Chain A
Amino acid sequence: MTRRFLLSAVLFMLAGLFFMAPDRLTAAPYDTIQVSNPFLNKTPIALPAFKALTGSPAEMKIGADARDILESGLAFTGYLKPVNPNAFLADPSKTGIQMSQIKFSDWTGIGAELLVTGGIEEKDGQVKLEMRLFDTFNTQLLKGKVYTGPPDQVRRMIHLFCAEVSHALTGSWGVFASKLAFVSTVDGNKEIFVSDFDGHNPTRITRHKNISLSPAWSSDGQWLAYVTYAGGKPDIYIRGLEQDQSTVINREGMNITPAWMPGKEVLAAALSFSGNQEIYLLTRKGEMITKVTSSWGINVSPQFSPDGGKLAFVSNRSGNPQIYIKDLTSSEVNRVTFQGKYNTSPAWSPDGKKMVYVGIEKNRIDLYLIRLDKGPGMPVQLTRDQGDNEDPAWSPDGNLIIFTSTRDGQGPGLFVMTAAGTDQRRLMKMPGRQTQPRWSKPMTYKE
């Protein structure tokens, strides 16, 4: 692990802390995030052209595509910054991609702290990718991997390596092995889709031709719970993604906002069969385990803490919607949000220390972040003056937040930003309106 990378990471975190700290000098109700925050130093990484190992034109072509996928994949992390290739002093695609063939001063000289070299061999319709990640200042090979598969799997192979890079640098596999579930309209009806982590390869998985909402991954990625009006009212459907099995929770009234307990086949959901909108714990088969809330009024949008011991939810018990956390062991309930009159859609960070949520102030729907580990902190506003912003969810490594925004004026679409609120950009374009994105836990990685 490089000292420089650690330094960058520490700066990155300090910057986050700095901007999340309560600003006692101004009367502004929220702190601001500067998108061009100079403290958010990204680690420069050099991604030179891949070496065509037998030199065939097919290899050159696949290699160029693979390098592009690698670049956008690593840039996606939010903490790596690809160095402009015009600055490169060396060309490993000619001089060699192995450690012994690399002159590290060529890379440290242009400020690249990390270097990835790639080699490609195409033979009998199979592609072999040779990938290496180097720490240039410590002249160290951090990770070397070889992948083999058909040419149409190059994208996947590169993302597997991106996950290795992420793991080598942060200890987490990142977002690369995650799947994304979201809602998109098809002919005016909301249907559930599943895609790669970055929105590529969207696959429609419901055909209810009705309203379908709120997809929720089980932590093993085996089950997807969602809400649909296929039965004429909002009910929860639980679908096996690997096995052909499904359950419907369709008690009287509404059955909405399913959320899975980490590591368990248990879900929390808001049901209204009692006449009130209360949160219950249910088995995957829909059997009642227990009632979590008992308050007059609305209780909705449960979200488990990453350790499964607490449940955040939205309640209007104070007269308007606010976020609360219930300790499932002690049954103690604490209110989280105090600013404003409309705070909903809680999303725990994977380390359990932060929460992103939706706040409405003066008819503007924006995302806010609040720390949970430092007492009642001041919320940080993550989006501002850019359309309505809703449906926040974290990447499994906690580095990214995905959300819905109407900022480009074309109806809601999916957007991504770093956990500090920087690098806000559109995830992908596809026909229809996309909402309610949720990343799964990494699916293909096991320690």
Chain B
Amino acid sequence: MNRQLGLYLLMAVLVAGLFLTASCAKKTVVSDGTTIEDQTQTAAEAAAAEAARKAELERIRQQELQEEAARKLAMEQARTEAAKTRFLNQNIHFEYDSSQLTDTARELLREKADWLKANPEHSIVIEGHCDERGTTEYNLALGDRRATAAKQYLQDLGIESFRMTTVSYGEERPLDPGQNEMAYSKNRRAQFVLK
């Protein structure tokens, strides 16, 4: 009798175990469905993140482009400014008592002609100057001749004459007040001014 009761008990436990196991297995299946749902959600998030990343990259690229453009513009402006400064500050020089254009002067004038072509909105005044080793009146005429020689050469290079006027300052406006050959050679010049 006792042995039989024990057997029933064991069986009961086993059946229960079976039931329990069956119930567990069913639960796992349901659980799988949930996992699939979770996985779908993660893909969407990943796509969103990817889009954001791309947007960020695009934004950075755009910004870089803008910065590059700005840098290019700044460089362009600097270059333009430099070209303009060079145009205005680079004087052409002459020998004593001469209005002949030297080779260097011609080279500089060609550069100036390029600038004038690139900047058609500008008109200029060409000033003719002399050193002090001469007489006031003759130097006025010599300065006039120097300015005219520069203008004529620019005209030959295709610059419209109406964009250029000349004025002679003779020895009235030296760049360097010194009384030595260095100063004199600096002062014998044609100088370019924007109108």
Do A and B share a complex? yes
Please list the residues of chain A having a beta carbon within 8 angstroms of any beta carbon in chain B.
190, 211, 213-214, 227, 232-234, 253-254, 256-257, 270, 272, 275, 277, 297-301, 314, 316, 320-321, 341-342, 344-345, 358, 360, 363, 365, 390-391, 435-436
Q: What's the nearest-Cβ distance from chain B to residue A354, in Å?
A: 19
Known: A253-B148, A342-B134. 14 other contacts (CB 8 A): A213-B136, A232-B167, A233-B168, A254-B167, A272-B141, A297-B145, A298-B141, A300-B138, A342-B97, A344-B137, A345-B137, A345-B138, A363-B133, A390-B136
Specify which chain B residues have a CB less than 8 angstroms from the CB of A213 in the assembled complex.
136-137, 140
Known: A211-B172, A234-B167, A321-B97. A253 touches B136 (CB 8 A): no
Contacts of A358 in B (CB 8 A): 135
Q: A360 with B137: in contact, given A234-B168, A272-B148 (CB under 8 Å)?
A: no
Q: Assess whether B166 is interfacial by the CB under 8 Å rule.
A: yes
For residue A316, which residues in chain B have a CB less than 8 angstroms away from its CB? Answer: 97
Query: How far in angstroms is the closest Cβ of chain B from A338?
Result: 17
- CA separation between A377 and B165, bound complex, in Å? 44
**CB-contact partner of B144 in A253, A341, A436, under 8 A:** A253
Q: Which of A233, A254, A272, A436 contacts B136 (CB 8 A)?
A: A436
A365 in contact with B133 (CB, 8 Å): yes
Q: Could you say which residues of chain A place their CB within 8 Å of the CB of B144? A: 253-254, 272, 277
Given contacts A211-B172, A234-B168, A256-B140, contact A345 B145 (CB under 8 A): no
A300 x B136 contact (CB < 8 A): no
Q: Does B142 contact A (CB under 8 A)?
A: yes
Map CB proximity to A onto B142-180 as digits: 1 under 8 Å, 0 otherwise. 101100100010000000000001111100100000000
Closest residue of B by beta carbon distance from A211: B172
Closest A residue to B138 by CB, please name it.
A344
Q: A211-B172, A277-B144, A321-B97 are in contact. Are A301 and B134 (CB under 8 A)?
A: no
Contacts A233-B167, A321-B97 given; does A254 touch B135 at CB 8 Å: no
Chain B interface (Cβ < 8 Å from any Cβ of A): 97, 133-138, 140-142, 144-145, 148, 152, 165-169, 172
Alpha-carbon gap, A272 to B140, bound state (A): 11
A301 touches B137 (CB 8 A): yes
A194 to chain B, nearest CB (A): 19
A314 is contacted by which of B97, B138, B145, B165 (Cβ under 8 Å)? B138
B142: chain A residues at CB < 8 Å are: 298
The answer for the CA separation of A299 and B166 in the assembled complex, in Å, is: 18
Q: Contacts A321-B97, A342-B97 hold; do A234 and B140 have CB atoms under 8 A apart?
A: yes
User: Complex formed: what's the CA distance from A301 to B135 in Å?
Assistant: 10
Q: Cβ of A360 and Cβ of B133 under 8 Å apart? A: yes
Give the docked Cα–Cα distance between A345 and B169 (Å): 18
Residues of chain B with a CB closer than 8 A to A345's CB:
135, 137-138
Q: Kindly list the 3 A-B residue pairs having the minimum CB-CB distance in the complex, ordered from nearest.
A: A300-B141, A233-B167, A298-B141
In the complex, the answer to whether A256 meets B141 with C-beta atoms within 8 Å is: yes
Would you list 25 pairs from A and B whose C-beta atoms are within 8 A, ordered by A residue? Answer: A213-B137, A233-B168, A253-B144, A253-B148, A254-B140, A254-B141, A254-B144, A256-B137, A256-B140, A257-B140, A272-B144, A272-B148, A275-B152, A277-B141, A298-B141, A299-B141, A316-B97, A341-B97, A342-B97, A344-B138, A345-B135, A345-B137, A363-B133, A435-B136, A436-B136
Q: How far is the CA of A256 from the CA of B148 in the complex (A)?
A: 16
Residue in B closest to A214 when the chains form the complex, CB atoms: B137
Instruction: Determine the distance from Cα of A299 to Cα of B145 in the docked complex, in whole angstroms.
Output: 11
Q: Are B167 and A298 in contact, CB atoms less than 8 angstroms apart?
A: no
Chain A residues with CB under 8 A of B169: 211
- Min C-beta distance of B38 to chain A, whole Å: 87
Closest chain A CB from B165 CB (angstroms)? 8
Q: Bound state CA distance, A254 and B126, in angstroms?
A: 13
A253 to B145, CA, bound (A): 10
Known: A270-B141, A390-B136. A253 touches B172 (CB 8 A): no
Give the distance in Å from the alpha carbon of A345 to the alpha carbon of B142 in the complex: 14
A390 to chain B: which residues have CB within 8 Å?
A: 135-136
Partner of B148, one of A211, A275, A342: A275
Q: A227: which B residues are within 8 A, CB to CB? A: 140
Name the B residues within 8 Å of A299 (CB-CB).
141
Contact A320 B148 (CB under 8 A): no
Complex Cα–Cα for A270 and B168 (A): 13
Contact A365 to B135, CB < 8 A, known contacts A256-B141, A270-B141, A277-B145: yes
Residues of chain B lying within 8 A (CB to CB) of residue A232? 167
Q: Is the CB of B172 within 8 A of A301?
A: no
> Which residues of chain B come closer than 8 Å to A254, judged between CB atoms?
140-141, 144, 167-168
Question: Which residues of B lie under 8 Å from residue A300 when comparing CB positions?
Answer: 137-138, 140-141
Min CB distance, B96 to chain A, in Å?
Answer: 10
Q: Nearest B residue to A256 by beta-carbon distance? A: B140
Task: Write the nearest CB–CB distance from A277 to chain B, whole angstroms.
Answer: 5
Are A320's CB and B137's CB within 8 A?
no
Chain B residue at minimum C-beta to C-beta distance from A272: B144
**Measured between alpha carbons, how far is A390 from B133 in the docked complex, in Å?**
11
CA A52 to CA B135, docked complex, whole Å: 51
User: What are the residues of chain B within 8 A of A321 when measuring CB–CB?
Assistant: 97, 138
